[in-house]
Amino acid sequence: MYFKLFNILYILQECIGLLSQAEHLLASAHSLQTKLHRGVQLGGASSRKEAAQEVGVCTEMMLEGPELVIRDPMNSVVGVAMKGLLESQGVFKVRRFV
């Protein structure tokens, strides 16, 4: 009887721990996606739907892996989003020389 109760409590603790991890991951993804969308709005995007899809893929890649490779960092939607995000937070200013 006590053994079954102990097993049930252990399983419940494991479930609560997994739910807590999932909640943290979802909150991080939402925060990152919101910030990147703000960066896209500041940088300007040609197609909002396309931009939203690319930002979603980028967010997923950033949360799953240790690094992110952006193919065209100055002109892609993700590059513009990152640049807009960093500029809005005062991290750096992009200077263009003519």
The share of the chain scoring above pLDDT 90, in percent, equals 19
pLDDT score at 96: 59
**Per-residue pLDDT reduced to its tens digit, 33-48:** 888 877 666 555 556 7
Contact 64, 28 (CB under 8 A): no
Instruction: In whole angstroms, give the CA distance from residue 87 to residue 91.
Output: 6
pLDDT score at 98: 53
Average pLDDT value over all residues in the chain: 79
Instruction: In whole angstroms, give the CA distance from residue 83 to residue 92.
Output: 9
The share of the chain scoring above pLDDT 70, in percent, equals 80
